[in-house]
Chain A
Amino acid sequence: MPNPSARRPISLAILVVAISTLTPSFSYADEEELPVLATAQAKEDSFADSYVEVNEAKRADDSNYVTITWTLRNRGGDTISYADFQNDLYEYRDRSVSAVTALDEKEKIRYHPLQDENGFCICAGQFAPGDFMNEIKDKKSSPYWTSYIIPENISEISIEVPGFEKTPSFPVK
Chain B
Amino acid sequence: MKRSLTDHGGTKGWWFYALGLTTATLMLTSCVSQSDSGGDNGGNGEGTSNESGENSGKEDSPIATALTSATIHKEEMQVDIVSLERHQNNRVILGMKVTNKGDKDLTISDMFMAPSRNGGERYTANGISLIDYQNYKRYRPLMDQETESCLCSNWKDTVTLSQDDSLDFWVAFPSPPDSINKIGVNTNVTPDFIDVPISEAESPNKEVTEASIEDPTILDLVSRQDDLSDDSSREETGEKTSIMLSSDVLFDLNESKLTSEADEKLEAVAKEIDSSSGTTVKIDGYTDSSGNDSINLPLSEKRAESVKKKLEELVSREGVTFETAGHGSKNPVANNDTDEGRSKNRRVAITFER
Contact = CB atoms under 8 A, between A and B. Distances in A.
A122 B106 contact: no
Contact of B221 (A62, A108, A114, A133): A114
Interface of B is mostly: loop
A125 B190 CA distance: 10
A78 interface: no
B101 interface: yes
B67 A115 contact: no
Contact of B224 (A90, A94, A125): A90
A111 B76 CA distance: 31
A127 B5 contact: no
B71 interface: yes
Interface in A53-68: 55-56, 58-65, 67
A100 interface: no
A88 B245 CA distance: 20
B120 interface: yes
Interface of A: 20-26, 28, 32-35, 55-56, 58-65, 67, 69, 82, 88-91, 94, 108-112, 114-118, 120, 122, 124-133, 142-145, 147-149
B295 interface: no
A23 B118 contact: no
A21 B127 CA distance: 30
A116 B138 contact: yes
Nearest to A70: B191
Contacts of A145: 70, 190-192
Given A56-B67, A132-B70, A143-B69, A112 B225 contact: yes
B76 A122 contact: no
Contacts of A33: 2
B72 interface: yes
Contacts of A25: 101
Interface of B: 1-2, 5-6, 51-52, 60, 67-78, 101-102, 104, 106-107, 109-115, 118, 120, 127, 131, 133-134, 136, 138, 182, 184, 186, 188-192, 194-195, 219-229, 236-237, 333-335, 338, 340-341, 344
B25 to A, nearest CB: 24
Nearest to B237: A117
24 contacts: A55-B67, A64-B133, A67-B184, A67-B194, A69-B5, A82-B70, A89-B340, A90-B333, A90-B335, A94-B115, A109-B225, A109-B228, A116-B220, A116-B221, A116-B222, A122-B131, A129-B107, A131-B107, A131-B189, A133-B70, A133-B71, A147-B192, A149-B221, A149-B236
B188 A132 contact: yes
A129 B224 contact: no
A20 B228 contact: no
Given A33-B2, A130-B107, A26 B102 contact: yes
Given A58-B194, A147-B192, A65 B131 contact: yes
Contacts of B344: 89
Contact of B118 (A64, A112, A118): A118
A22 B115 contact: no
Residue of B70, B131, B236 with most chain A CB atoms under a 10 A cut-off = B70
A24 B227 contact: no
A111 B237 CA distance: 14
Given A23-B101, A32-B68, 20 more contacts: A24-B75, A64-B133, A90-B334, A94-B115, A109-B225, A111-B223, A112-B224, A116-B219, A116-B221, A126-B115, A126-B188, A127-B114, A130-B109, A130-B110, A131-B111, A132-B71, A132-B189, A147-B192, A149-B136, A149-B225
B137 to A, nearest CB: 9
Residue of B6, B77, B191, B221 with most chain A CB atoms under a 10 A cut-off = B191
A142 B72 CA distance: 8
Contacts of A67: 5, 184, 191-192, 194
Nearest to B75: A26
Contacts of B101: 21, 23, 25-26
Contacts of B333: 90
Contact of B184 (A56, A65, A118, A129): A65
